[in-house]
Amino acid sequence: MNRLEEQKARELLNYANLRRTRPRVAVLAVLLGARRPQTADEIAAKLAPPAPNRVTIYRILESLLHEGLVHKAFLEERTWHFELASNCTESQCHPHFTCTNCGETNCMTEITLPMTKSPGKGFVIQRQRVQLEGLCPKCNV
Amino acid sequence: MNRLEEQKARELLNYANLRRTRPRVAVLAVLLGARRPQTADEIAAKLAPPAPNRVTIYRILESLLHEGLVHKAFLEERTWHFELASNCTESQCHPHFTCTNCGETNCMTEITLPMTKSPGKGFVIQRQRVQLEGLCPKCNV
DNA sequence: AAAGTACTTGCAACTTAGTTGCATTTAGTT
DNA sequence: AACTAAATGCAACTAAGTTGCAAGTACTTT
């Protein structure tokens, strides 16, 4: 658990008007240090024991989500994955790339796609989300 | 349960070398008649009683998936949604639009996006999936 | 048409991921 | 130091999907 990330976590929480409780700081610090979207269980595994209760982690993620500090990345699994909202604009987040061979997910922050145009007919497109699938450098022989 | 769809379902199953059992034909017929991705429960609700066992429906969907007749549409819910694979190319399916107000999902078959280019670095992009979010005609006042 | 067999189905029990209610604790305030 | 709203932990619950196994059925072979 990096000190720098804890410090940053405190600042973000303060800014968002959320209490800086120990579990909340720790969860946010994990997300600050993560290079890919994390599930509640993955976060729990990275916390220094004694880990907070499962329910607490879910509720912390909910509060972070509510204040817009993190958001859900929808991957091809049933489980929810969370990541910092900081790299994303109002209308879209970076694409996520999942390797069909090893299953690992990478954040493709260097890719920015043009916003899809509405087909008319009364549809207003506000956000778009892109998932990519293929072979990652490790698996691309 | 439309006769035409049952007929079409039989043909597809035959073509895919899957046994044309009563539950399988019925499930596929529902998907043939659906205008948006369906969950296992939604499918079950549309079957003429006596509905097949929950487990059976999951296994049928699995077999259809395995033979490439249907695929999963990843929406912003935990639950899996299935739809016919027929409208889709190798590299992408039509985008799905979910209304942030009423929650309904629409298939945007009229939209086709250019394929995202790989950022290099050894990544090979094989498929892309796009989710859209905004207001649907009903909710766009 | 009967028999055989591999594929399917149904049932019960289980797992995973997330939720709810309530009593206890704690961060930030007075 | 006392107060209070917010946060936490625990136990019990729900939703969605899975597994093992016995019984049934579609298609094949004779």
One digit per residue, the tens of pLDDT, for chain A of length 141 reads 578 999 999 999 999 999 999 999 999 999 999 999 999 999 999 998 889 999 999 999 999 999 999 999 989 888 999 999 987 888 999 999 999 999 999 999 999 899 999 988 899 999 999 999 999 999 988
Give yes or no: residues A68 and A134 share one domain.
Answer: no
For residue B83 the two structure tokens come to 């739809």
CA of residue A87 relative to chain centroid, distance: 10
Instruction: List C-alpha distances in Å: A54 to A25, A65, A67, B79.
Output: 15, 17, 20, 21
Ramachandran category for residue B136: left, alpha or beta (phi over 0 → left; psi -120 to 50 → alpha): beta
B chain contacts of residue A100, beta-carbon cutoff 8 Å: 126
Quote the domain boundaries for residue B127: 88-141
What is the C-alpha to C-alpha distance for residues A61 and A140, in angstroms, rounded to an integer?
35
Give yes or no: residues A69 and A100 share one domain.
Answer: no
Q: What CATH number is given to the structural domain containing B8?
A: 1.10.10.10
Q: What is the pLDDT of residues B60-108, one digit of tens each?
A: 999 999 999 999 998 888 899 999 998 788 899 999 999 999 999 999 9
End residue of a domain, out of B66, B86, B106:
B86
Helix (H) or strand (E) holding A131: strand A124-135
Give yes or no: residues B51 and B21 share one domain.
Answer: yes
| The pLDDT value given to residue A87 | 77
Give yes or no: residues B81 and B36 share one domain.
Answer: yes
What is the C-alpha to C-alpha distance for residues B135 and B102, in angstroms, rounded to an integer?
8
Q: What CATH number is given to the structural domain containing B112?
A: 3.30.1490
For chain B, what is the domain count? Answer: 2
Q: Smallest Cα–C1' distance to nucleotide D11: which residue has it?
A: A55
For residue B57 the two structure tokens come to 């429906």
Give yes or no: residues B28 and B82 share one domain.
Answer: yes
Give yes or no: residues B104 and B135 share one domain.
Answer: yes
Give yes or no: residues A21 and A70 share one domain.
Answer: yes
| The pLDDT value given to residue A141 | 80
Give yes or no: residues A131 and A78 share one domain.
Answer: no
Give yes or no: residues B28 and B64 share one domain.
Answer: yes
Give yes or no: residues A80 and A117 share one domain.
Answer: no
Nucleotides of C under 7 A from a protein CB: 7-13, 16-21, 26-28
The B residues from 83 to 102 touching A (CB cutoff 8 Å) are: 95, 97, 100
Q: Which nucleotide is nearest to A24 (CA to C1')?
A: D7
Contact A119 B111 (CB under 8 A): yes
- Tokens 């993620």 identify what position? A61
Give yes or no: residues A49 and A28 share one domain.
Answer: yes
Q: Which nucleotide is nearest to B20 (CA to C1')?
A: D26
Q: What is the pLDDT of residues A49-84, one digit of tens each?
A: 889 999 999 999 999 999 999 999 989 888 999 999
Give yes or no: residues B103 and B75 share one domain.
Answer: no
Q: What is the pLDDT of residues B40-60, one digit of tens each?
A: 999 999 998 889 999 999 999
Written as one string, the DSSP assignment of B40-100 is HHHHHHHSPSSPPPHHHHHHHHHHHHHTTSEEEE--SSSS-EEEESTT--SSBPPPEEEET
B chain contacts of residue A124, beta-carbon cutoff 8 Å: 134-135, 140
Question: Using the CB atom, is residue B56 less than 7 Å from strand D?
Answer: no
End residue of a domain, out of A86, A108, A129:
A86
